[in-house]
Structure 1
Amino acid sequence: MAAPGPGFVAGVAVSSWVVASPAGDIAWLLIGHPPPRRHGETARTIEAGLRALAAGMRLLPAAERVPDVGDRLMVRGPVVALDYGHDEYLLRLPAPGREWRDHVGRGGVVCVTVVLDPLGPATGWEAGREAVDAHLRRSAAAGRVLMGATRARHRGGLD
């Protein structure tokens, strides 16, 4: 399954944050998609694009052990991009916070999470953290969340 191109990736919603845990800080990178809104989009085509994006990074269902998917993040100052498996394109993250970038810069692990269920007004970022958490729990229980662990690449920048 080929990773989707920039036309699809431009429509994804991305959020990043850090959560403190007893085992240490965990950085999250959540990728989802709103319901169909552009010409030619359907729930089926969006899910296929998200599955292809997840397959390009070798993500697995959340119920399984989270795989290490290699060093996929590239950081240059405030700019962070994700290698999602496309031969030519990267996914630029929209303004990850300083705490998140510092965590990544120290070699911290990031949990890349692709949620297949649409992110609407009641479940998307604008609904607030509790609504997003509830949406993720429901989607994971239904087997519709794919995950992997990644870090920043040690050398090189954004090409």
Structure 2
Amino acid sequence: MDTGPLAWLFIGHPGPRRNGETPTTVETGLLDMAHALCLAPASQKTPNIGGRVMLRAGTAALSYGHPTTVMRLPPTSRQWMSHIALGGLAVVALGLDPIPPGTGQDGIDEYMHRTGIRDRLYMGMTSLRRRWT
């Protein structure tokens, strides 16, 4: 099925950094987020997780299931924002393995391939959420 152009939203982490964090606690938190977002392992059909992306005054955020908090996204391109604002689809990809900060596009592509074939990458299809709440 051809869905046309897609925006991508990659959620990665650099590994444990805070006091008390371990690889296990980081992975548990990420799996909780994947389940709250209704993401599926990359080897399965990518589910439609409903409208989760919110736009306001040039800022984008992801509603990830928390009752009072959203995840503010880093600055995105105008093309990405326009795509979402006009009803385009976005793939949310959440990786369980650490990825070094500053990894470029080639490294992210390799990461997604490597983690996807091992079911360490969770994905879902989303779009614009019409309400910012």
TM-score (norm 1): 0.79
**Alpha-carbon deviation of 1:23?**
5.3
Among candidates 27, 33, 47, match of residue 53 of structure 1 = 33
Give distance in 1, aligned partners of 2:114 and 2:129: 32
- Runs of 4+, deviation exceeding 2 Å: none
- What amino acid maps onto 2:104 in structure 1? G
Among candidates 97, 122, 131, match of residue 146 of structure 1 = 122
- What amino acid maps onto 1:139 in structure 2? T
**Alpha-carbon deviation of 1:73?**
1.1
Structure 1 equivalent of residue 111 of structure 2: 135
Give distance in 1, aligned partners of 2:11 and 2:104: 16
Give distance in 2, aligned partners of 1:51 and 1:85: 13
Alignment: residue pair count: 132
Structure-2 change in CA distance of 1:60 and 1:23 (3 Å): closer
Establish whether residue 95 from structure 1 lines up as the match of residue 71 from structure 2.
no
**Alpha-carbon deviation of 1:37?**
1.5
Preserved CA contact (<8 Å) 1:32 1:50: no
- RMSD of aligned Cα (Å): 1.3
Among candidates 52, 55, 78, match of residue 75 of structure 1 = 55
Q: 3-state SS of the aligned residue for 1:44?
A: helix
Structure 2, unpaired ranges of 5+: none
Q: Percent identity?
A: 39
Give distance in 2, aligned partners of 1:23 and 1:150: 12
